[in-house]
Amino acid sequence: MHMFTFFYWLSGVALVIVGAWTLMFESEYSVLLGSSWFLIIVGLMIGSGGLIMIVSICGCYGVVKEHRYFLVSFLIMLTLIFLVECSVGIVAFVQRAQIEEDLDRTTIDRMNEYGSSDDIKESFDLLQQRHKCCGSVSFASWNITSWKQMPENENLSVPESCCKTITPACGKRDHPSNIYHQGCISKLSEYFREQVFLLGLIALLLSAFQLLGIILSSCMVRLVEYY
């Protein structure tokens, strides 16, 4: 039981680190989603990790002192965290199956905000340059956006971030040698699928580990009660 509480505490540290890393370095495209479910999943993982670290200290004290009150509290909190982690894992895999559908519905809306929102412009520019794509379904998607209707963009076919080599006004010529023609939805969908799969897998694996802890804690409570 001592070993379990130690490794359980380490799992909490790992959750906080993975969640914070994802939030800092892997959520640059989250603004392009139609909802904030991705950030909610990450936030729940960070919160669960912090709670696990605190609960583990409570459990460790209860095991060392054989204090029934702390052991029962540890068991209850362990069960609650188990339910939260299971929920996070299930939601992650459910949302993973709907990512492309969500992106189909919201990408054009985000493209319409390209010229008016710095966050969306930065995310789209990063997406198009890093993944070598342009627009939603194809480069032609930019022709039906509010960005295209702006006076300063009338002579441009696509934003400069669609260009294979960025130069001033390079978005005027839409030849395949000059700009990327493939749309970004498929690549953005693949990116989020990978991220959500990783988060969901971590949550479910931790849930399995917590189930072991619930069994061990129940046995420990019985022993303390008996003696």
Q: How far apart are CA 108 and CA 141, in angstroms?
A: 8
CA 97 – CA 99 distance, rounded (Å): 6
For the full predicted model, state whether its pTM sits above 0.75: no
Domain residue spans of the chain: 2-100+191-226
The rounded mean pLDDT for the chain is 81
Contacts of residue 99, defined as CB under 8 A and 6 or more positions apart, other chains included, come to 189, 192, 193, 196
194-205: average pLDDT: 83
Buried b or exposed e, range 58-89, using 16+ CB within 10 angstroms: bbbebbeeeeeebbbbbbebbbebbebbbebb
Q: How many CB atoms lie within 10 A of CB 198?
A: 14
Which tens digit of pLDDT belongs to each residue from 130-152?
889 998 888 988 988 888 888 88
What would the mean pLDDT of 96-124 be, rounded to a whole number? 81
Q: Encode pLDDT of 13-49 as tens digits.
A: 888 888 888 877 666 777 777 667 777 888 888 888 8
By residue count, the chain amounts to 227
193: left (phi over 0), alpha (psi -120 to 50) or beta: alpha
Q: What tokens does 88 get?
A: 């996070």
In order of 2, 80, 175, 194, the CA distances from 70 in angstroms are 14, 15, 69, 39
Q: For residues 38 and 196, is the Cβ–Cβ distance under 8 A?
A: yes
- Does residue 227 have a pLDDT over 60? no
